[in-house]
Structure 1
């Protein structure tokens, strides 16, 4: 009887511990999901809706206005290694709070921008805000809080974040139509002041890496590359993989409709196909929850590379077919959604958690720089070649180069 009682007591304690752990996970992921919805919705997705109002107000061209986005991406890239280091010695709460405040200052400067220099200045601040407050810092918070279950909680977070455009694009459009573009920017700033900032200050753990309090801190720490947990071949493999995949995904996202419009694809088909990419990203994340982490990250990464290549190839081979375009949306969208999660889990899985923040920061530097330049490079390539279909075929083949990065990681294991 005593043995049975002991077994029941141990089982009960384990169950209570599991319930408590899941409650903590849901609580932290819930608060982070709200702040990510606001961050992605206001900092990132809302930009495109302000193009027309700015052009009407000041007579700026579309290329002049969109240069602000490129500047923002470059600013994000340059800030990323500094942010990665800061996460390890300040903790996620402080860094993400700084991000929210920087975003508010950016909106205030943007709302008062009467010249391109002020607009570009606001997007330098916005790039820093995005580096401090979007997925990479959020992933850091989750991997430190739940080192044994980071895959599950990161998947949950990205699932919620996938609805940022669904919520904030129509909301921002409504605000612009109702109160004008300048007041809309102030209202977007208010979301960050009154919701995101309090979450980052009071609802996130202030945890730090264990060794961070025992070493002299630097603004930018190059010591990462000589530390024992650091694996150079794995780092460069991750770099190659992320650069190729994310650059091509960005190029397709921004130039898919213009490229296929050039070959005479019906615009309604393009709109249907393009609008399905977002839901397919969410579908991919749901699939990961259903699989429950059964697939290893590298195997999953290989699958996403082939899916993206096949999807782009379908669009290139049959650019006027609805079925081919729907296959493109399914394969490309799903792979893009899964890849967002892989970016958070692959670093934690393949590198030591003690260097997660700094590693992610350096990876984001190169990835974001190429992401900023890719639309311009693809557009120039299009102008030079004059054949959109050949460009799509080439891109479908280039995605496969990401497999070389995965092979480098496998070799280092």
Structure 2
């Protein structure tokens, strides 16, 4: 959407608020469906659903390319939201955890390492397609790529079956006896949601926040480019220390994010260093989403728990651009940045509370 929004707005006359609102709608739909995806993965192993996600996303993108009215455009992104619930990080990590248990951590880390190059590769490729074919045919091209790549890739790489959660186990997790203590579950939800909110707000407003600190547009763009390499570098480091408990990775993640944002707010002349730290912490965030719950629950319970945890984080991610934009408009850049610092520091506190409440066996 970062590349598509401008050409869509120029041709259709729709405001970018509506265009980006369609993306928020997709994320919201994805969050509402995340628990259902978790239950399906627990029953079936997830292979078929992940493979089918390519077709659903392709259908949504095809409708985006055919959209000449706003209502069809919003419907298309609703369908894309369904595909996101079926095939993005949360569903993939839940499938790997269900199939491979504790040994899935290496695969999860490797996948996040590869996906760290996503914007570096996909944004220029998308811009090239738009310049060559126009934005509508670029959507059709992406849809075709999804159909010919995602479906066969999942069928080839993942084993059939694998669902391990019985009806009795699902009933147990839906009742009073949860797979993990209720306080740990809600602490994890809060930590993941705050991390998603901060990440989304920074992604949307970083350039403006840097400009408010006295940087030119060119300088702000240059500083923002360090985030991708830092995210990848932090994931490489995590691979070297993967034997440690994920709660330590979580603490490093939220701590680096908070330190980077505080440095940007209090010492704007050190913004580059602040963004290096923030980028490293945010890079670990994607790993933590998959590995921390996996260390706390049994593999057959993981998909259901991961699906439930994904819902508040995705809803928060969907609402952040709207709420963050309102705060920025009414209170200014500095107040927005200070609020992000408070949220990031709160996440450090919650992570410390989580570690203190975990049993020694769980935290080692």
Q: TM-score, normalised by structure 2?
A: 0.93
Distance 1:118 1:142, change over 3 A: same
User: How far has the Cα of 1:404 moved from its partner?
Assistant: 4.2
- Quote how far apart the aligned CAs of 1:222 are: 8.9
1:188 to 142, 146, 155: 142
CA offsets, 1:218-261, max 9 Å, x none?
xxx79435345332111111011111111111111111112232
Distance in 2 between the 1:88 and 1:227 partners?
Answer: 18
Secondary structure, aligned partner of 2:68 = coil
Change (3 A) 1:224 1:404: farther
Is 2:185 the partner of 1:231? no
Question: For 2:172 and 2:122, how far apart are their aligned partners in 1?
Answer: 38
The one of 284, 303, 315 aligned to 1:357: 303
Q: Deviations over 1:288-313 (max 9, x none)?
A: 1122x243221221222221111011
- Structure 1 residue 372 displacement after superposition: 0.8
Partner secondary structure for residue 49 of structure 1: coil
Structure 1 residue aligned with 2:321: 375
1:245–1:211 Cα change, 3 Å: closer
Matched, 1:282 2:228: no
Equivalence for 2:209: 259
- Out of 240, 244, 259, the residue aligned to residue 310 of structure 1 is 259
Aligned equivalents of 1:317 and 1:148: distance in 2?
41
2:362 match: none
1:296 and 2:250 aligned: no
Flag the structure with larger Rg: 1
Q: CA deviation at 1:142?
A: 2.2
Quick one: distance in 2 between partners of 1:110 and 1:95? 22
Map of 1:30 onto structure 2: none
> Which position in structure 1 is the counterpart of 2:218?
268
Map 1:101-250 onto structure 2 (within 5 A): 101-212=55-166, 223-227=173-177, 229-250=179-200
Q: 2:339 aligns with which of 367, 384, 394?
A: 394
Question: C-alpha distance in 1, partners of 2:22/2:178?
Answer: 40
1:347 equivalent to 2:290? Answer: no
2:275 maps to 1:326: no
Unpaired runs of at least 5, structure 1? 1-46
Question: What SS does the aligned partner of 2:2 have?
Answer: helix
Larger deviation: 82-91 or 134-143? 134-143
Aligned to 1:26: none
Q: Secondary structure at the match of 1:70?
A: helix
In structure 2, the gaps of 5 or more residues are 360-364
State whether residues 84 and 360 of structure 1, in contact with CA within 8 Å, keep that contact through their aligned partners in structure 2.
yes
Deviations 1:115-164 (A, max 9, x none): 11111111111111111111122212322333242222211111111112
TM-score with structure 1 length normalisation? Answer: 0.82
User: What per-residue deviation string (whole Å, max 9, x for no partner) do you get for residues 245-285 of structure 1?
Assistant: 11111111111112232343211221011111111100110
SS of 1:152 mapped into structure 2: helix
Whether contact under 8 Å (2:43, 2:164) holds in the other structure is no
Q: CA RMSD in A?
A: 1.9
- Tell me, yes or no, if the aligned pair for 1:238 and 1:409 is still in contact at 8 Å: no
Deviations 1:302-351 (A, max 9, x none): 222221111011211233x2xx1221221111101111001100010012
Preserved CA contact (<8 Å) 2:172 2:178: no
Q: Give the direction of change, closer, same or farther, for the CA distance of 1:294–1:398 in structure 2 (3 Å limit).
A: same
CA distance in 2, matches of 1:209, 1:267: 50
Q: Which residue of 2 aligns with 1:42?
A: none
User: Does structure 2 retain, via aligned residues, the 8 Å contact 1:144–1:207?
Assistant: no
Distance 1:160 1:99, change over 3 A: same
